[in-house]
A and B are shown apart, each in its own frame.
Chain A
Amino acid sequence: MKKDQKRFKKLQNINQCKSFNELIEQIDFSSGNSDDLTTIVLDYLDKQTVLLYYESLVDTNKQSNLLEWISEMFWKTDEFPDTIDVKIQPSDLSFTEAIEFLLDGETLLISDDSGIWNITSIKSLKVFQRSIQEPKNEQIVRGSHTGFNENLIVNLNLVRSRLKSPHLIIKYFSIGSHSHRKTALIYLNDLADPMLVEEFTMRLNAVDVDLAFSVGYIEEFIEDSNYSPFPQFLNTEKPERTAANLMEGRIAFMMDGSPTCLIAPVNFFTFYQSPDDYNGRFLVGTFYRLLRIASFLIALLLPAIYIATISFHFEIIPEDLTLPAKRAVQDIPYPPLFEALILELTIELIREAGIRLPNPIGQTIGIVGGLVIGDAVVNAGFISNLMVIVVALTAISSFVVPSVEMNTAVRILRFPFMILASLFGFTGVAAGIIILIVHLIKLESLTTPYLSPIAPFHVSGIKDTFIRLPGSKLDTRSADAHPLNRKRFGRNRWWKHAKK
């Protein structure tokens, strides 16, 4: 066996094989004798031919058509019919390359033409794909409900058909040392900052992993700060949102096998923008923006403020509320921090349990968790009903964020705030806020400041952060992505003034 291996390793290229049997042995060896590698040897007069393909990768319909054609016509003509997608390969193809072709789902047709190997590759990959659906984690009320699926080409089609511009550039990268995965960098070359494109390209080229199994996994290899709780790339499964972000001069990244699109550079407020904001009336959009920012603060600080108030600063509760608050808290055996931790952890448990269960059971969990635990825990006197209100409000607020990653960041961050509040009261909360602000100021997304329209401060950026002005007023692109052209469009609604 060992001797055999030595002999096999000597051969690099197909044209080094002397005999047909040697070729088949070599291929078998290079593929590790995998059982799904199908080898069909066809003999006809002096023309020896072998057909190689992975049966687990090829389309059976295409394959039977191909075999049918070969058995009838191949011996008579050199011309392949138009229905078969063929490519003539050089005869000095190496075995590694040959295996790569096979792994890409192609069929190799190798025939011995009087001492010279004729190699032809035939596209026969079978792709299973989900139909285009609305992404479940990004549902919107109005606007396009189209979502990406797991096929890169379909996804690129969805983007390009929405952005029919010669400036839309798609660059392919292959990531993964063990298994190559096709990925794509998408940007508009008349808008995206070339420096940022270069930076992104450099980071992608630097990725060295065995298998790139999802976009979220690769994200950790290319993001600016690994240790920050905040996401530095926007994840979206909506082509419409991707197109809108590309028009801001941002860069998108997609991968075969993953319906998620990564978008950078982004700022903190990007995560609070929902496509719905732009489809409704601007007052409503502004109201919901403010509501979401408020929800960020509530989800982050409300339990901490409550704990600080109850354990340190009872005097800030107004007179009329003092007695009800005291009555609720006085018989509780635990300090407020433990009350809060127990309840917060319960909610996290319910969420985590419900997330993977089928829908009907998920609802049961919700009822058991919400009603039974919530009600019983108060009746049992473990936790005050004020705390239940606070934690419930916090939980609801934390799910308001239209981005899953930001939502998790907020949920994690409230625990340190709660601990600081229980140790130092409002002083601790203040120290926590400072550290948070400083962290956000230090944080970068693809080398651009994360807290962009606020620090550094751009007046024009405010138009689409806390508030959303009417569409015709949003005539400049946000500055944080350094778009080559800040001006989005010219003067609109001139007819309004022209009438007079």
Chain B
Amino acid sequence: MSITSQRRTGNAVSYVLLAILSVYTLFPFIWMVISSLKPREEIRARTPSFFIQSPTLDNFVRVFVEHNFLEYLRNSLIVSLAACALSLVISLLAGYVFSRNYRMRLVQGTNFGMLVSQMIPGVLLLVPLYITMRNLGLLDSYASLILAYTTFVIPLSTFMLSSAYDSIPMSLEEAAEIDGASRLKTLTHVVLPVMLPSIVSVGLYSFITAWNEFMFGYIFISTDSLRTITPALMLFKGANSVDWGGLMAGSVIAVLPVAIIFLFLQRYFISGLMSGAVKG
């Protein structure tokens, strides 16, 4: 078999596998989109169906007009972007030290602390974190959520970035240092550009964690105008009935902006695009 035909078979197999994978990942989302376009009578039909007899935008109208989803979207965006930026700065610094100075006791101690912090079940953080935020005077503010989400993502961000630093040869920095650059300058000018794919992936992780968080979103925030999108979604689940149409429309609205952001960022994960930088 020639190289080309081998490659062609490989591609064909890959496409089939990717198609199967996409069905697995997209199925619930497609169901969400379909349901969000159905009138209530069809959602509550005895036999569920993929086909919509009379498609409607009522659910979306309700979500935007009766529930202030535009405002919730804005709040989520502010909180998530801030938490993402803050945590990236903090963990880019910490991760660098984790990778290059792992033998220092302070580094190992911090590493241990970060791991332990991941072991506390969220339920037990509820009351203590509420009291902390109250003491800091931050209840009912963006800051409370930004600080909490930043703290939640720092550990994994640091670990991931430190592993990304691991794959960058020390020689790169040593060369720069011999040229007389300071350590921080070496970091920002020489090392970080090479790490872009990892920074993007870690940034996405922080953003999405903040975007999707649920419990603290309603524990800290008691004002409608500051509410983020995930706790707002739960309002569609009433005490005696679930407004599936509204919930699904709201969820589609919560997922779409991030999916679009991702569509733009995904090119950073294409093999070869960044390899020039790595070699440079």
**Do these two chains interact?**
no
